[in-house]
Amino acid sequence: MSLLRRPPLLIALGVVVSVAALYLGAWWMPFPVGLWLGLLVPRARFSIPAGAAVGLVAWTAPLVGEQVQYGLGPAATSIAAIMGLTGAADLPVALTILVGTLLGASGAWLGSAGRALAPRGAKPDVGRSRASEPSLEPASEKAALR
């Protein structure tokens, strides 16, 4: 069975790529991974939640690592104070995770919508002569182009 018929493997691969890219500084990576999932997973009802899950995991994993290693309390409290919320240190963390989730979901939605617009089974016009098509160009311009 091919990889395209196994969405859980695609999702796991997307999570690994997104988390690795996030640690390298590519914070926007859940969007293209979600786009990729939206194009490859055949149904939007599965691809959009999969993209959201990739974004959720990709943006939560570094926050959990930072919390374990350093503690997010002082940084989250100061960000909350800048936002005007003096006692809600968990709100900036929740909003950060929400942004990651929306990045993945919007990428998957765009990929799924793009896949729905693509023609199915369309064949390119190879070998068809353009000489038989009527031209809207004046004869003098047509001669100058040759």
Q: pLDDT tens, 52-88?
A: 999 999 999 988 988 888 888 888 888 888 888 877 7
Q: Is residue 69 part of a domain?
A: yes
Q: Which of 41-45, 84-88, 120-124, 128-132 has the lowest mean pLDDT?
A: 128-132
User: Which pTM value belongs to this model?
Assistant: 0.73
d(CA 66, CA 63): 5
Q: What is the pLDDT of residue 133?
A: 56
Q: Provide the token pair at 95.
A: 């909003």
Query: What does the pLDDT average to over 117-135?
Result: 60
The burial of 11, by beta-carbon neighbours within 10 Å (0-12 exposed, 13-18 middle, 19 or more buried), is given as buried
More confident residue, 2 or 49: 49
Alpha carbons 49 and 117: distance in angstroms, whole number: 20
Q: Give me the helices (H) in the chain, please.
A: 7-23, 30-40, 44-69, 73-83, 90-117, 139-145
Decide if 91 is inside a domain. Answer: yes
SS3 6: coil
Q: Residue 101's domain spans which residues? A: 3-117
User: Which residues, 6+ apart, have CB-to-CB distance to 110 below 8 Å?
Assistant: 34, 35, 38
Residue 144 within a domain: no
Task: Quote the number of domains for the chain.
Answer: 1
Give the residue with greater pLDDT, 118 vs 112: 112
Could you tell me if residue 13 is inside a domain? Answer: yes
Instruction: Assess if residue 130 is contained within a domain.
Output: no
φ, ψ for residue 84, nearest 5 deg: 90, 10
Q: Is residue 129 part of a domain?
A: no
Convert the pLDDT of each residue in 7-55 to its tens digit.
788 889 999 999 999 999 999 999 999 999 999 888 889 999 999 999 9
Residue 73 belongs to some domain of the structure: yes
Q: Is the predicted pLDDT of residue 143 greater than 80, yes or no?
A: no
CB distance 63 to 27 below 8 Å: no
Check: CB of residue 95 under 8 Å from CB of residue 83: no
Rounded average pLDDT over 101-107:
96
In a domain, 28, yes or no: yes
